[in-house]
Amino acid sequence: MSAFSSLGEKLNHIFSKLVKRGKLTELEIKNAMREVRVALLEADVNFLVAKDFINRVSEKAIGEKILESLTPGQQVIKIVNEELISLMGGQNEKLAVSPQPPTVIMMCGLQGAGKTTFSGKLGFYLKKQGKKPLLVACDIYRPAAIEQLKIVAEKAGVAFFEKGTQAAEKTAKEAIDFAKKYAYDTVIIDTAGRLQINEELMNELVEIKQAVKPAEILLTVDAMTGQEAANVAKTFNEKLDITGVLLTKLDGDTRGGAALSIKAVTGKPIKFCGIGEKLGDIEPFYPDRMASRILGMGDVLTLIEKAQEAVDEKQMKEMEERLRKNSFTLDDFLTSFEQISKMGNLADLISMIPGVGNKIKIGDIDEKQIMRYKAIIQSMTKEERLDPSIIKASRRKRIAAGSGTTIQNVNMLLKQYEQSRDMMKNMNNPRLQKMLMGRKINF
């Protein structure tokens, strides 16, 4: 994630110096830990959290086994990885499910943190998991808040419940009765936020909590507020005893300090994170996967999950059949671009590839290139897509004009298509497959 790109680069620079050395002294480890501490503080990690983290890592790293190890640098990285995982909660925390439906989820947070939008994202996510969620409008103060949630619910394709500006506690109770009557198994209550924490806000939230006894009280915090997000989480937790945190805008220009501080400050886990503006841009929070991304080790599991969600199995089987017959067309190439687009932000995807994430700068990734290539293919005739060999100079000129690109862009696309087709043809070669089967593949 771009949230951690700066921290990841700094940590990798620090550790690259350690890995190059055959042996490490206690002083070298202490100096490296001092640099790590500065990197964490620059990422807006809470001061006490950063201090405690460095103390734990140093205690484990300055040991006889590490100092005398043949790969001391790698051992230190392993310790940092383990401590990062522990710092962020250790393991993924799933949403609680009530023994008797509906499961009530109470959303809370400051105004502007993205709570209403995240309510829709959560409803959309749960619907994909086979649940039947109901979004409930209990923000009776903010102008157009009810209408906003209604629009979000419609986009997410989930049910919506509102009773205007009557008391929020009463609306919440009626929503649960409605859910029981019409077999909704999950009720997501969008409560009111304020620009700052105050007694009036907290009292209303406490009343709703007492009235509906939610299985989850999820606090939405804006990751871009950095360390302040952890402070907000701490206050809400003291007043409401929250069950978890939802981090929004983790894809934005943020330093990631909130994600590294919240669990240590509140004792409560981050359950989901928002990674974009679309309703589908929501991910369960896995501390081990996040630690791997920060340290440039990739995140293969999330990459596979995204691919499984994006890939149309029927299209893939048809493409595989055409590959066997060596008839991979530009239509197939277009399909592959569309599936990549569905998987999300290209920079995020690349950051999940082990050993690649921190070596490629975000600025080097041209997100618009895929859009250009799609436009070029869509500007071709059916005949040209099926047989690209007929695309000579005059056709290339017409396609470039029709797609709003240049002849050079068209040439680049056709070259990449040829390379992809040749590569896939080779992968379909029985002799090559036999060779690959007999080799151990290292990642």
pLDDT tens, 259-280?
A: 788 888 888 898 998 877 888 8
Residue 129 burial (CB < 10 Å; 0-12/13-18/19+)?
exposed
Strand positions, DSSP E, 103-215: 103-109, 133-138, 159-161, 186-191
Average pLDDT over residues 72-77: 78
Strand pairing category for 159-161 and 103-109: unpaired
Position 174 pLDDT exceeds 60: yes
Confidence (pLDDT) at 366: 56
Dist. CA 377–CA 331, nearest whole Å: 8
Position 40 pLDDT exceeds 90: no
Q: Report residue 400's pLDDT band, with 50, 70 and 90 as the boundaries.
A: very high
Confidence (pLDDT) at 317: 65
pLDDT digits (tens, 9 = 90+) for 404-437: 999 999 998 888 888 777 766 655 555 544 443 3
Dist. CA 150–CA 56, nearest whole Å: 48
Confidence (pLDDT) at 339: 67
Using only C-alpha atoms, the chain has a radius of gyration, in whole angstroms, of 26
Dist. CA 224–CA 247, nearest whole Å: 9
Dist. CA 353–CA 304, nearest whole Å: 11
- The residue among 202 and 252 whose pLDDT is bigger is 202
Q: pTM for this one?
A: 0.66
Extract the tokens encoding 336: 């592959």
Beta carbons of 356 and 300 less than 8 angstroms apart: no
Strand pairing category for 159-161 and 216-222: unpaired
Residue 339 identity: Q
Average pLDDT over residues 80-89: 87
Extract the tokens encoding 158: 């989930």
Q: Which of 1-15, 171-185, 332-346 has the highest mean pLDDT?
A: 171-185
Lowest mean pLDDT across 273-277, 381-385, 390-394: 273-277
Domains, in order of start, for the chain: 2-87 (1.20.120.140), 103-297 (3.40.50.300), 302-437 (1.10.260.30)
Confidence (pLDDT) at 346: 56
Position 364 pLDDT exceeds 50: no
For the sheet containing 216-222, what is the strand order?
Answer: 159-161, 133-138, 186-191, 103-109, 216-222, 244-248, 270-274, 282-284
Of 11, 13, 9, nearest to 84 by C-alpha is 11
Confidence (pLDDT) at 1: 47
Confidence (pLDDT) at 393: 92
Question: Which residues, listed in sequence order, are joined to residue 219 by a DSSP beta bridge?
Answer: 108, 245
Extract the tokens encoding 170: 């009463």
Q: What angle do CA 212, 217, 218 make, to 5 degrees?
A: 145
- The residue among 428 and 398 whose pLDDT is bigger is 398
Q: Report residue 443's pLDDT band, with 50, 70 and 90 as the boundaries.
A: very low
Beta carbons of 248 and 118 less than 8 angstroms apart: yes
- The residue among 184 and 362 whose pLDDT is bigger is 184
Position 37 pLDDT exceeds 70: yes
Spatial CB neighbours of 180, under 8 Å, sequence gap ≥ 6: 101, 102
Beta carbons of 208 and 140 less than 8 angstroms apart: no
Beta carbons of 134 and 174 less than 8 angstroms apart: no
Q: Report residue 340's pLDDT band, with 50, 70 and 90 as the boundaries.
A: low
pLDDT digits (tens, 9 = 90+) for 199-232: 878 888 888 998 889 999 999 888 777 777 888 8
Average pLDDT over residues 315-337: 67
Beta carbons of 75 and 69 less than 8 angstroms apart: yes
Strand positions, DSSP E, 70-142: 103-109, 133-138
Average pLDDT over residues 352-359: 50
- The residue among 180 and 288 whose pLDDT is bigger is 180
Half-sphere exposure of 44 (CA within 13 A, CB side): 20
- Preceding omega of 388 cis (within 30 degrees of 0): no
Dist. CA 67–CA 26, nearest whole Å: 7
Dist. CA 21–CA 397, nearest whole Å: 56
Mean pLDDT of the chain: 79
Dist. CA 41–CA 67, nearest whole Å: 27
Confidence (pLDDT) at 75: 80
- The residue among 36 and 441 whose pLDDT is bigger is 36
Average pLDDT over residues 103-111: 89
